């Protein structure tokens, strides 16, 4: 029986790239990770061999990465070599394998958050300056006392 690729979800964070190999009741799990690629293999409940080889978009720190197995999947936390550098894709190649998808449930557009936050702080500071500017109050001597 030929081996198949495991369905894989991924998402990007400032320091890590997360991958989830969706295999229920996995056994014989092997994750071989180096600074440029990961080779994942296991067997599912039906003894079908699953195999994925992913050459990363950028260099990673394999020594500060780890994986965790659950009953439904194997999650891989891969530390980026350069923090706060967004990855537009997981793979080095500019093609998307059919078994690879973005995990939109966990995806966040974290790039530029610092700029947006700084702009909001600046806008708030300007607003506070307008509110706290001391201006002489208007004269109220033209108001009637009969109200």
Domains by residue range for the chain, with CATH: 7-113 (2.60.40.790)
Q: What is the mean pLDDT of each run of 10 residues along the chain (147 residues)?
A: 89 93 96 97 95 97 92 94 93 94 84 57 62 64 68
Question: In terms of Cα–Cα distance, which of 41, 94, 83 is closest to 60?
Answer: 83
> Which stretch of DSSP H or E encloses residue 102?
strand 100-102
pLDDT of residue 103: 94
């Amino acid at each position: 029986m030929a081996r198949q690729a495991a369905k894989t979800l991924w998402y990007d964070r400032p320091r890590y790239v997360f991958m989830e190999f969706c295999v229920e009741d996995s056994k014989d799990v092997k994750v071989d990770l180096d600074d440029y690629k990961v080779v994942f293999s296991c067997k599912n409940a039906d003894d079908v061999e699953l195999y994925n080889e992913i050459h990363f978009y950028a260099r990673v720190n394999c020594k500060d990465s780890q994986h965790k197995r659950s009953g439904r999947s194997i999650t891989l936390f891969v530390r980026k070599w350069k923090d706060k550098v967004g990855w537009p894709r997981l793979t080095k190649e500019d093609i998307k394998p059919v078994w690879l998808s973005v995990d939109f449930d966990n995806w966040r557009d974290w790039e530029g958050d610092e700029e947006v936050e700084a702009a909001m702080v600046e806008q708030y500071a300007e607003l506070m300056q307008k509110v706290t500017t001391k201006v002489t109050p208007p004269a109220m001597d033209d108001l009637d006392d009969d109200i």
